[in-house]
Amino acid sequence: MEQTLVILKPSCVERGLIGEVISRIQKKGIIITGMKMMQLDEKILREHYAHLVDKPFFPGLCESMMASPVVCMVLKGADVVSVFRAMTGVTNGRKAAPGTLRGDFCMSGQANIIHASDSPENAEIEIARFFKPEEVFDYTPANVSFIYATDELN
Ligand code: IDP
Ligand code: MG
C-alpha cells in the first residue's frame, strides 16, 4: 500500500490539536505506521522546503516550524497521498474547505497545522528524511478486511 509523510506543525502541537488530527486519520481507516516527536532545525527544513528557500517568507516559515517540537507520522493506505492531501485542504487555512483539517482548525496560510506529502515519489523521499527504516512498522491491523474490499487490498 502507498505511504505518506505527515508533520503536525508547531501550530498543531501548541494549540492542542494533535488528538483531533490523529482521531480523523484513524476514523478514516488510514493506518499509522510511524510516529514520533522531533525538534526540527534549519538544516532539515532547508531540505524539506527546498522549493521555498528563495521565497521572502522562508525565514518566517523556518522560525514557525522550529517554535516547538513537531509530531512526524508515516501513514499507510490505498491512494493515501491524495486521500490525505484532500483531507488536509488547500495551503491557506482561510481558503481551505470546511470539513478539511486546515478548513476546520486553522486561520493561517503559514501556521496551517499540517504538512502532507504531495506525491508518492516525494513521500518516499520525505519518509527517508524524517524516519529511520526501523522506526516504520509495516503491520496490518486486524480490522483491515472491514476497511477495504478484498480486491482493493494489494
Ligand atoms: P503545502 O503545505 O500545502 O504543500 P507548499 O506550497 O508546499 O504548501 O508550502 C509549504 C508550506 O510553506 C505551507 O504549508 C505554509 O506553511 C508555507 N507557505 C506556503 N506559501 C506561503 C506564503 O505565501 N506565505 C507564508 N507561508 C507560506
Ligand atoms: Mg508542499
CA distance 97 to 127: 27
Q: How confident is the model at residue 86 (pLDDT cuts 50, 70, 90)?
A: very high
For atom 16 of ligand 1, which residue has the closest CA? 110
The amino acid at 134:
E
Q: How confident is the model at residue 100 (pLDDT cuts 50, 70, 90)?
A: very high
Return the C-alpha cell found at 117. Answer: 506529502
Instruction: Report whether pLDDT(154) > 80.
Output: no
Q: Which of 112, 120, 136 is nearest to 83 (CA)?
A: 120
Helix (H) or strand (E) holding 148: none
For atom 11 of ligand 1, which residue has the closest CA? 110
Q: What is the pLDDT of residues 41-50, one digit of tens each?
A: 999 999 999 9
Q: Annotated catalytic, 51?
A: no
Q: Which residues contact 3 (CB under 8 A, 6 or more apart)?
A: 33, 74, 75, 76, 80, 120, 123, 124, 127, 136
pTM for this structure? Answer: 0.97
DSSP secondary-structure letter at 50? G
Q: Which of 96, 115, 126, 127 is catalytic?
A: 115
Which atom of ligand 1 is closest in space to residue 9's alpha carbon? 16
pLDDT at position 2 is: 97
Which atom of ligand 1 is closest in space to residue 91's alpha carbon? 3
Q: Is 122 in the pocket of ligand 1 (CB under 6 A)?
A: no
Q: Is the dihedral of CA 28, 33, 39, 43 positive or negative?
A: negative
Q: Is 102 in the pocket of ligand 1 (CB under 6 A)?
A: no
Q: Is 112 in the pocket of ligand 1 (CB under 6 A)?
A: yes
What count of residues does the chain have? Answer: 154
DSSP secondary-structure letter at 107? -
